[in-house]
Amino acid sequence: GRDHWSGVFSAVFAGAGVRGGQFIGESDAQAGYPLTRGWYPADLGATIYSALGIPPASQVIDRFGRPHQLNAGEVIAPLYS
């Protein structure tokens, strides 16, 4: 696992309008810390929701009638450019 270097991780995206063959971001020589803008797990979720046509900021109501924002992340726009 990466529990001791949790600041950098990899993910693979394909389809849904993602431009293939690219790397987004850069880490230090030990792959311990990002050198460029960091993306977070919530951003991965927002990107997936958006690709599915679901606005990440959608509000969902739980069984007790309480509103919750579906996702607070930001779509990883460089995947599509």
pLDDT for the residue numbered 2: 56
Spell out the per-residue pLDDT of the chain, length 81, in tens: 556 677 788 888 888 889 988 989 899 988 888 999 988 899 999 999 999 999 999 999 999 999 999 999 999 999 998
pLDDT for the residue numbered 11: 86
Rounded CA gap, 81 and 66, in Å? 37
pTM for the complete prediction?
0.80
